[in-house]
Amino acid sequence: QVQLVESGGGLVQPGGSLRLSCAASGGSVSAYNMDWYRQAPGKQREWVARITSGGSALYTGSVRGRFTISRDNAKNTGYLQMNSLQPEDTAVYYCMVTVRTNNYWGQGTQVTVSS
């Protein structure tokens, strides 16, 4: 069973950067798409970005040009580089991998953008 652990969140000032990591264990995820989602207080969880098994990247409009998703298959880890962070990016960020029909989620990592 795949297990995902996010890390790299924290408190950052507006305009700052963070890099989130999503480390997978229990099996290789290189053959599967990896998604990042986020959930702000009082809001529904929203999709942020996807990297396909082939390395293609997709982004929601609000982060395009600021966030970069990537993966290192040798490390079985995905990343989300977040630049030019704004207060509206404050949320708990989750990674998710779909293996066949099963969705595996990490526990989330808090990102707070505030001065």
Provide the percentage of residues in the chain whose pLDDT is more than 70: 100
Q: So what's the pLDDT on residue 54? A: 93
The residues that bridge with 102 in the sheet, in sequence order, are 99
As a whole number of angstroms, the distance between CA 113 and CA 7 comes to 16
* Mean pLDDT along residues 31-42: 96
Identify which of 75, 74, 112, 80 has the alpha carbon closest to the alpha carbon of residue 96. 80
Q: So what's the pLDDT on residue 31? A: 92
Tens of pLDDT, residue by residue over 54-110, are 999 999 999 999 999 999 999 999 999 999 999 999 999 999 999 988 999 999 999
Q: So what's the pLDDT on residue 92? A: 98
